[in-house]
Amino acid sequence: MGPLELGLISLGVIVLLIYAGLYIPVVLALVSFVSVWLMRGNIDIAINLLTISVKDTVSDYNFATVPLFTMMGLIVSKAGLGRDVYEVANQIFRAIRGGLGIATVAANAIFASVTGSSIASASVFTKVSVPEMRRFHYGKRFAVGVVAGSSVLGMLIPPSVMLIIYAVVAEQSIGAMFLAGVVPGLLLATVFGFAILIMAWLAPRFVGGRYGEGAERTEPLISFREIMVKLVPVVLLILVVLGGIYGGVFTPTEAGAAGGLMAILIAAARRRLTLRSVWEALVETGHITATILFLIIAASTYSRMLGIAGLPTLFGEWMQSMDLNLAMMMAIYVLLLIVLGTILDTASIILVVVPLFLTAVEAFGADLVWFGIVTVIGAEIGLLTPPLGLSCFVIKSTIDDPSISLADVFLGALPFAAVMLVVLIFVIAFPQISLVLVR
């Protein structure tokens, strides 16, 4: 049995083991290790391959961005900046039917630009937005759905850990990926806002709210000074991180360090930071970083195994032999992303699928930066779909309301998953949406 046959069998075994519930990094690393051993008939080669994967991953300077941006996001979350941003956004949109939903989307878009984590956004705004929307008699499914839908903006609007992971896998510039995520991220947030307006018009019972009684106007207005106090720290953080990267002052890694330091200073200045919360943020950063690096090491081993088996080249040639155009191939790719999203998290999808499709995408002459944005949006849809739907699970585990079931969260998120699919189609049809700031 040749390397090609063993490679194909290994893909089938990986899929079966993942569906069986085994830990994804262990599956990727173990199956890849055994496959290379069988392909070359020498266990030393498999051990060397695993060693190289570990060394290249741990020593890669770009991976320092993962713990740095993760820590920054956790510090910002613990400092309560998410609540501050939401209060300002709520004041701006309070006079609109469905305004609290739009305020949540706007606040999540801003919060995403300083955290880069959809999980952090889902956790923060479940505690902040859902109780407020329920207080004003918004529908429970709409309340949790809008939080779930808008939380995925953290995966797209830079800085985003998923964009970093894709950049490393596809050997693209992290700065270029950050730039490419800006316009699609803002577009998605804008379309979410319009979708809420349409839902409030077509399905008022689903959206709910007490706008007709003027309930949203009874809350005291925030003074201009309070708005500045709440927004200036966020603006400063955005300027330091994104301004530093795009202005050429920092590399993405240095920007992560500067952002982490700025987040600590802001939280300390506002007296919202204790030694205990700093310790908790550091420990959680370690857990998240270790998980991501383990996954990337396993995926690196998997990618090298695919290369030894010659599967990416074969897959690209097969795609071309089927006389598929780029649009048809992307339709297959998006369908695969959505299906995998029902069982895998976004990082796993990127690391498992992207190495297979890169050669085929390059053969069509498509831009790999654009392909990365398509990948992240497509994989994000999986965060809102059962049975995994990671953002939905985070919301359910965070919310303190037994009347809201996991099914309510998934049903509430469904319209936003549909909106994401529409935006994804536009990004595929018009690549310049993601490349306008890059090229």
For the ranges 43-52, 63-72, 209-218, the lowest mean pLDDT is seen at: 209-218
What is the average pLDDT across 100-127? 77
* pLDDT > 70 fraction of the chain, expressed in percent and rounded: 90
How is residue 22 written in tokens?
A: 């085994």
How is residue 271 written in tokens?
A: 């007296």
What is the average pLDDT across 185-195? 94
Query: Is 70 exceeded by the pLDDT of residue 427?
Result: yes
pLDDT in tens, 141-151: 999 999 888 88
What is the average pLDDT across 214-243? 74
What is the average pLDDT across 31-49? 84
User: Looking at per-residue confidence, does 115 or 371 come out higher?
Assistant: 371
Residues in the chain: 439
pLDDT at 415: 93
Q: Around Cβ 179, how many Cβ atoms within 10 Å?
A: 22
Query: Is 80 exceeded by the pLDDT of residue 32?
Result: yes
Question: In sequence order, what are the residues at sequence separation of 6 or more whose Cβ sits closer than 8 angstroms to the Cβ of residue 46?
Answer: 33, 34, 36, 37, 40
Query: Is 60 exceeded by the pLDDT of residue 390?
Result: yes
Q: How far apart are CA 73 and CA 289, in angstroms?
A: 13
pLDDT in tens, 291-348: 777 877 887 787 778 777 777 667 667 766 777 788 888 988 988 888 777 666 677 7
39: exposed, middle or buried (Cβ count in 10 Å: 0-12, 13-18, 19+): buried
What is the average pLDDT across 204-224? 64
How is residue 136 written in tokens?
A: 């004003």
Helix (H, G, I), strand (E, B), or coil: what is residue 259?
Answer: helix
Query: Is 50 exceeded by the pLDDT of residue 213?
Result: no
Phi, psi dihedral angles at 59 (to 5 degrees)? -90, -5
Cis peptide before 387 (omega within 30 of 0): yes
pLDDT at 387: 67
How is residue 361 written in tokens?
A: 């995408």
* Number of structural domains in the chain: 1
Mean pLDDT for the chain overall: 81
Query: Is 60 exceeded by the pLDDT of residue 211?
Result: no
Q: Around Cβ 22, how many Cβ atoms within 10 Å?
A: 14
How is residue 428 written in tokens?
A: 């595929």
Reported as a pLDDT band with limits 50, 70 and 90, residue 215 is very low
Q: How far apart are CA 20 and CA 15, in angstroms?
A: 9
What is the average pLDDT across 392-411? 81
Query: Is 60 exceeded by the pLDDT of residue 262?
Result: yes
Q: How far apart are CA 301 and CA 319, in angstroms?
A: 24
Reported as a pLDDT band with limits 50, 70 and 90, residue 25 is confident
Query: Is 50 exceeded by the pLDDT of residue 416?
Result: yes
Q: How far apart are CA 50 and CA 62, in angstroms?
A: 20
Return the exposure string of 276-297: e unless at least 16 CB atoms fall within 10 Å of the residue's CB, then b. ebbeebeeebeebbeebbbbbb
Task: Identify whether the C-beta of residue 256 lies closer than 8 Å to the C-beta of residue 161.
Answer: no
What is the average pLDDT across 399-405? 80
What is the average pLDDT across 413-428? 93
Residue 245 sits in which domain range? Answer: 3-435
pLDDT at 422: 94
User: Looking at per-residue confidence, does 358 or 373 come out higher?
Assistant: 373
Phi, psi dihedral angles at 324 (to 5 degrees)? -80, 140
Reported as a pLDDT band with limits 50, 70 and 90, residue 116 is low
User: Looking at per-residue confidence, does 361 or 383 come out higher?
Assistant: 361
Reported as a pLDDT band with limits 50, 70 and 90, residue 414 is very high
Number of H helices, E strands in the chain: 22, 0
Q: How far apart are CA 248 and CA 69, in angstroms?
A: 18
